Chain A
Amino acid sequence: MARYIFQRIGYMAVTLLIIITITFFLMQLLPGTPFNNPEKLTDQQLELLNEKYGLDRPLIFQYFTYVGNLLKGDLGTSFQFSGRSVTEIIFERIGPSALIGGQAVFFGAIVGFFLGIISALRHNTIFDYGSVTIAVLGMSIPSFVFGALLQYYIGVKWGILPAALWKSYEYSILPSIALSVMVIATVARFIRSEMLEVLGQDYVVTARAKGISEFVVITFHVVRNALIPVITVLGPLAVSIMTGTLVIEKIFAVPGLGEQFTLSILVNDYSVILGITLFYSALFILIVFVVDILYGIIDPRISLGGGKRDAA
């Protein structure tokens, strides 16, 4: 197991290096320079700036400098906000993103979980059709449509919650709900189909034949086995939502990481683009890793790392 974990960490490092390399060189293809209005700067000023940030040196040299600094834990400084480190920017912006994303995943997973279970247990009834409809709508209608509807009715017309901006906790509720729709739909759909499959398994009949209560049969024999594939989708989904979603953050004017990322791309803020990309990737790879470990815990048939296998 320990060997497996070290191996995986090694692979993770290689993956990250590849991502950095590709992003670093792709970024150079973006038109323009990191400096605003370069046409207003004199050649001498430009030269000074380029020299200050090391942009005058060969690209390959810049690349190795960046990787070297990275190994020391330094993500560089922003071009846009002079003097502020990329790490600082990420940590300042991740807060709101993680809060609305986290709430959306938590709320969405719970609602989706129960919706999916009810739907499977009441297969082909009005409950089932109802939740399938919700799931299909949630999957097919983009979250900004729900966002706009929530803002209009709850925020403006009824004035229950603030429609936008980021001042106190209340401001996080509407964007969280808008984001959770997709989570609800995804989780409900997966749980439903997995439950239906597991309900048809022989071991569920065996469990019932033991005379244990239906609640125990559903909880310990059906739901547990239905959960395994759901974890696979929920992990990466949680990462992509919690690291900030561009559209929802824009609509609700949330100062999150997603918004910052778009902004940085627009102004060619190289170090911030690289930093955020790296952050996303690292988090994603880490979650996939955690999901794999969880798999081994939930499903005893999966043994990690080709370690000692019990013979059948």
Chain B
Amino acid sequence: MGETILSVKDLHVSFQTYNGIVKAVRGVSFDLKEGETLAIVGESGSGKSVTAKAVMQLLPKETTRVEKGSILYQDEDLLTFHRKEMQKVRGREISMVFQDPMTSLNPTMKIGKQIMEGLRKHHQLSKKEAYDRAKELLELVGISNADARMKAYPHQFSGGMRQRVVIAMALACHPRVLIADEPTTALDVTIQAQILDLMKEIQEKTNTSIIIITHDLGVVANMADRVAVMYAGEIVETGTLEEMFYEPRHPYTWGLLQSMPQLHQNRDIPLMPIPGSPPDVSSLHDGCPFAPRCPYVMSVCHSHLPDYTQISETHTVTCWLEDHRAPEVERPYRPDSGYRGKSTTVGG
């Protein structure tokens, strides 16, 4: 794993709506290193996609504002870039794959042309060169008979094939960073695995850094090197894959893991859902946003936001349980064991 390529620092994004200002992203920070895969996990509405679109500056300008923070790509702040400069970053330095392949391709433009567009703009290729390169890309993402497929329209492809095309488009100009916003959510389970394998295979070949946004912990386990858990516009816990699955520290992460079925699990034990629903980010109180749903809630949680606590070099968490004044609680995950569900007591 190489140097840090993308660094988001204290990002705040808000939306202007009829009901007032909605703070969708509130102080998100993360680093992405060369060749690594970072998974951003969270429920719907936790601000995952907004964070990704803010990096690409694809949020609607009329209604969104980046209030604070910086997005450093190779030590340059993307937020200070002008429109033209940003166009040079999109597709060439940072690319994006979207959730729904059925709607993310232009229905009236041939597949080949849609792939060639970016190539011709960023690499100033001739039509012939761009065509050959686009054909190579289709072959790279596993589409056979690429010559004929170049002339086809999106409606002539299945969902999985379209997502391959979208990935080919995103990879066309050898971006250093690929942001995949729920790339497999709209696909069949068998196709999901194929698409994830394809992304991993391409990453190995090109050393691209990937940010994968998902609410599927199976995808996380399959893909990620590091994980960031988002809740109500904040990253509540971040760490390596092992740290997050075996030694999670935040009650929300515990809830996420406990609500996921496992193969070796006794089927008589019911899955544990997280009670309640995510908060309305337009009306948040001062304290920890997870407090109303947290089984370990303390009075301080309702009034004050906890600070970051560094557990290890890679593992940080924002929770009052980490404070030395916090009482001892039964933790479902013990740091020294990978076995889930076995309780242990951790002192404060």
With a cutoff of 8 Å between Cβ atoms, the chain B residues found around residue A299 in the complex are 107-108
- Chain B interfacial residues counted at CB < 8 A: 36
Task: Check if B105 sits within 8 Å of A210, measured CB to CB.
Answer: no
Interface of chain B residues 185 through 207 with chain A (CB within 8 A): none
Complex Cα distance, B95 from A224, in Å, reads 25
| A224 in complex: contacting residue of B83, B87, B108, B166, CB < 8 Å | B108
Q: Min CB distance, B310 to chain A, in Å?
A: 35
Q: Which residue of A lies closest to B88 (CB)?
A: A211
Task: Check if A213 sits within 8 Å of B87, measured CB to CB.
Answer: yes
> Quick one: given A209-B90, A210-B121, A211-B89, are A225 and B152 in contact (CB under 8 Å)?
no
Determine, out of B17-25, B34-42, B155-163, the stretch whose residues face the partner at the interface: B155-163
- Chain A interfacial residues counted at CB < 8 A: 28
Instruction: Report the tally of A-B residue pairs with Cβ distances under 8 A.
Output: 89
Interface of chain B residues 110 through 139 with chain A (CB within 8 A): 117-118, 121-122
With a cutoff of 8 Å between Cβ atoms, the chain B residues found around residue A221 in the complex are 106, 109
With a cutoff of 8 Å between Cβ atoms, the chain A residues found around residue B100 in the complex are 202
With a cutoff of 8 Å between Cβ atoms, the chain B residues found around residue A203 in the complex are 103-107
A36 at the interface (CB under 8 A from B): no
Q: Min CB distance, A206 to chain B, in Å?
A: 5
Task: Check if B104 sits within 8 Å of A202, measured CB to CB.
Answer: yes
Interface of chain A residues 194 through 253 with chain B (CB within 8 A): 201-203, 205-214, 216, 220-221, 224-225, 228
Complex Cα distance, B88 from A211, in Å, reads 6
With a cutoff of 8 Å between Cβ atoms, the chain B residues found around residue A207 in the complex are 106, 117
Most interface-central of B58, B100, B104, B166 (chain A CB within 10 A): B104
Task: Check if B118 sits within 8 Å of A298, measured CB to CB.
Answer: no
Most interface-central of A202, A211, A213, A298 (chain B CB within 10 A): A211
Task: Check if A212 sits within 8 Å of B156, measured CB to CB.
Answer: no
Q: Min CB distance, B298 to chain A, in Å?
A: 42
Task: Check if A300 sits within 8 Å of B155, measured CB to CB.
Answer: yes
Complex Cα distance, B107 from A224, in Å, reads 10
A29 at the interface (CB under 8 A from B): no
Complex Cα distance, B121 from A207, in Å, reads 12
Complex Cα distance, B121 from A213, in Å, reads 8
Task: Check if A210 sits within 8 Å of B169, measured CB to CB.
Answer: yes
> Contact mask A297-312 → B, CB, 8 Å, 1/0?
0111100000000111
B235 at the interface (CB under 8 A from A): no
Complex Cα distance, B221 from A106, in Å, reads 60
Q: Min CB distance, B86 to chain A, in Å?
A: 8
Q: Min CB distance, B165 to chain A, in Å?
A: 10
Q: Which residue of B lies closest to A209 (CB)?
A: B96
A124 at the interface (CB under 8 A from B): yes
Task: Please give me the 4 A-B residue pairs with the lowest Cβ-Cβ distance, nearest first.
Answer: A211-B91, A211-B90, A210-B118, A202-B103
- The interface of chain A, by Cβ under 8 A from chain B, is 123-124, 201-203, 205-214, 216, 220-221, 224-225, 228, 298-301, 310-312
Q: Given known contacts A203-B104, A209-B90, what 19 new A-B pairs fall within 8 Å (CB)?
A: A124-B62, A206-B104, A206-B169, A209-B56, A209-B58, A209-B95, A210-B91, A211-B87, A211-B92, A211-B173, A213-B87, A214-B83, A220-B106, A221-B106, A221-B109, A224-B108, A225-B108, A301-B108, A311-B156
19 A-B residue pairs with Cβ-Cβ distance under 8 Å, sorted by A, are: A123-B62, A203-B104, A205-B104, A209-B56, A209-B58, A209-B95, A209-B98, A210-B90, A210-B118, A210-B121, A210-B172, A212-B121, A214-B83, A225-B108, A228-B108, A299-B107, A301-B108, A310-B152, A310-B156
